[in-house]
């Protein structure tokens, strides 16, 4: 069953782009002139902002990154029937998988283990079940029937994915995967690392998740606004980023029912759509980690979130409760 892309669950907005430094002489002004690109990829509005003294070279680097992101879309997008992930979901097998597919699946499995299965790429059958249920003319307001949920839940479980350098297999008949909870972070990191390898040290990359390399040219951290999930266009908190990434997950990003009881956030272990927090934001060294943990932490109790955060290096967690109060854990 094919569904249109969901409304962006990543409720992050860039509230102040780098303005450059003026009146510092021609050479400095040229170095501080940003090269910007905006577009869409992986179901999100995306952007790249870099600083380079050679505008032509800067534009070439940006276009190289854009082409790489298009290639990643061909691997990870559920909205492209000819993508690698769609082929895997149709047949249960992917022969000679791309290196990025292997890397992202292995990362997904690592986060699944770390979060006790709260992050699980095999959650896709639950999405299909709820989407089909709430597409009915008169859907039961309490969601799919218990027997249908139990049947679909039997297909969910990261343990049923086998990854090797030459083959990916879904071992459970009817299983299907989604990388929507981590792919945008991975793409953000790929772009940032490509640009850094080319010698750039000042950039803000947003491929659905945001990563800053260095500070703005004036030495001030990049200012990123965390949007209020219930009030479009309203920033609830502003954070400064330098050599770190941020991702936010909120159930308000997509709701199956008018009452908002069922969102895109499914607990892979129960099949239900809990509403523990209004939003969860993670600041981490990489966008991949921030992306995966913001998804998983939306389903975990505070005690477990704090344990996991304490076990990781340089992780900060912003939990916003239903009453709008935000608690911050980590460094």
Closest by Cα among 258, 291, 290, 296 to 277:
296
- Tokens, residue 67: 């082409």
* pLDDT at residue 265, rounded to an integer: 84
Q: Is residue 145 part of a domain?
A: yes
Q: Is 291 annotated as a binding residue?
A: yes
Instruction: Say how far apart CA 137 and CA 131 lie, in whole Å.
Output: 12
* Cβ neighbours around 190 below 10 Å, total: 22
Q: Is residue 15 part of a domain?
A: no
pLDDT digits (tens, 9 = 90+) for 89-127: 999 999 999 999 999 999 999 999 999 999 999 999 998
Q: Is residue 8 part of a domain?
A: no
Q: Is 295 annotated as a binding residue?
A: yes
Model confidence at 83, pLDDT cuts 50, 70, 90, reads very high
Closest by Cα among 291, 292, 297 to 278:
297
Residue 64 has pLDDT above 50, yes or no: yes
Q: Is residue 175 part of a domain?
A: yes
Domain containing residue 220: CATH number: 3.10.520.10
- Tokens, residue 298: 């939306």
Q: Is residue 43 part of a domain?
A: no
Closest by Cα among 296, 295, 287 to 241:
287
Q: Is residue 154 part of a domain?
A: yes
- Domains contained in the chain, number: 1
Q: Is residue 169 part of a domain?
A: yes
* pLDDT at residue 104, rounded to an integer: 98
* pLDDT at residue 1, rounded to an integer: 40
Q: What are phi and psi of 127, to 5 degrees?
A: -60, -45
pLDDT digits (tens, 9 = 90+) for 133-150: 888 888 888 888 999 999
Helix spans in 77-98 (H): 84-91
pLDDT digits (tens, 9 = 90+) for 219-236: 999 999 887 777 767 788
Q: Which domain holds residue 108?
A: 52-330
Helix spans in the chain (H): 26-31, 55-76, 84-91, 99-114, 124-133, 146-153, 183-197, 287-297, 302-311
Q: Is residue 205 part of a domain?
A: yes
Model confidence at 30, pLDDT cuts 50, 70, 90, reads very low
- Tokens, residue 93: 């097998």
Q: What is the mean pLDDT of residues 266-271?
A: 90
């Amino acid at each position: 069953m094919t569904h249109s892309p969901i409304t962006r669950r990543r409720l992050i907005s860039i509230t102040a782009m780098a303005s450059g430094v003026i009146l510092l002489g021609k050479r400095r002004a040229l170095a501080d002139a940003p090269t910007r690109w905006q577009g869409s990829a992986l179901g999100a509005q995306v952007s790249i902002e870099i600083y380079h003294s050679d505008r032509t070279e800067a534009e070439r680097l940006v276009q190289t990154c854009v082409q790489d992101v298009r290639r990643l879309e061909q691997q990870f997008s559920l909205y492209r029937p000819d993508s690698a992930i769609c082929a895997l979901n149709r047949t249960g097998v992917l022969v000679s998988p791309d290196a990025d597919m292997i890397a992202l699946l292995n990362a997904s499995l690592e986060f699944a283990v770390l979060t006790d299965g709260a992050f699980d790429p095999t959650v896709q059958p639950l999405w299909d079940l709820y989407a089909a249920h709430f597409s009915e003319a008169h859907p039961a307001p309490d969601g799919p029937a218990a027997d249908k949920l139990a049947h679909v839940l039997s297909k969910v479980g990261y343990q049923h994915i086998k990854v090797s350098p030459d083959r990916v297999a879904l071992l459970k008949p009817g299983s299907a995967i989604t990388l929507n909870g981590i792919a945008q972070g991975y793409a953000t990191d790929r772009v940032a690392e490509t640009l850094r390898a080319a010698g750039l040290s000042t950039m803000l990359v947003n491929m659905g998740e945001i990563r800053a390399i260095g500070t703005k040219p004036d030495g001030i951290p990049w200012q990123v606004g965390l949007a209020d999930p219930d009030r479009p266009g309203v920033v609830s908190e502003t954070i400064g980023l330098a050599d770190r990434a941020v991702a936010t997950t909120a159930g308000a990003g997509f709701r199956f029912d008018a009452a908002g009881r069922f969102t895109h956030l499914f607990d892979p272990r129960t099949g239900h759509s809990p509403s523990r927090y209004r939003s969860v934001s993670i600041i981490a060294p990489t966008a991949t980690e921030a992306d995966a943990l913001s998804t998983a932490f939306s389903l975990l109790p505070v005690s477990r979130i704090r344990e996991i955060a304490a076990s990781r290096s340089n992780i900060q967690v912003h939990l916003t409760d239903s009453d709008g109060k935000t608690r911050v854990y980590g460094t």
